[in-house]
Amino acid sequence: MKQDPAAYRMVAAGLDENGSAVFRDEVPPAAREIPGIGSSAYFWRVAGEHSVPSSVGAPATVPGPATDSGSALAIVRIAAGSDTRKNLSEFLDVQGHGEDNDADMHATATVDYEIILSGKIDFVLPCGQRRTLETGDLLVVTGAPHLWDNPYDEDCVYLSITIAAPASSPHAAG
């Protein structure tokens, strides 16, 4: 299993300007290191609503989870022996620090689908709620404040698909 998120290869299939099905090979990621935590590589991003063929996205040019009404595809590595107990606002578009203004927590306005590819990691919610996730486990995060903690002796690598989910107005008709 690859440990470096940027080492993954992505191939995209879609339609060209004439409507013909084509491959886009060797799509380079927008990679970044997060000192003391790990690294990530964002491969694809859709800005705005999804619709075929007009809004299907493009290779990511900046790292980070989905924004507005789009989506993002990434591989993330959390290094062995590290946790995310620091304000990640420098790296993520965080929406707050969790319950009771817990500075250890962060949250994004996204629905996150994650699949643990290798290693294991603890996913932590406020008030000490914790689940250990292992290779093959799936995680869905729906705006909950959280942090990642990897007290184990191997890196954890996971696939992350984020879909923007802007907060709805409490006065919106529905």
CA distance 28 to 42: 9
CA distance 39 to 20: 36
Contact 135, 119 (CB under 8 A): yes
Residue 2's CB is within 10 A of a number of other CB atoms, namely 13
Class in CATH terms, 5-164 = mainly beta
Q: Is residue 66 over pLDDT 90?
A: no
For the entire predicted model, the pTM comes to 0.85
Q: What is the pLDDT of residues 12-48, one digit of tens each?
A: 898 888 888 999 887 889 999 988 889 999 999 898 8
In this structure, the strands spanning 30-34 and 12-15 are unpaired
Delimit the domains of the chain by residue range.
5-164
Of all residues in the chain, the percent with pLDDT exceeding 70 is 83
Q: What is the mean pLDDT of residues 131-145?
A: 95
The residue ranges of DSSP E strands in the chain, in sequence order, are: 12-15, 21-24, 30-34, 38-46, 58-59, 71-78, 82-83, 110-118, 120-124, 130-134, 138-142, 147-150, 156-164
**Does residue 66 sit in helix, strand or coil?**
coil
Provide the mean pLDDT of the chain.
84
User: Count of alpha carbons within 13 Å of 154, Cβ hemisphere only?
Assistant: 13
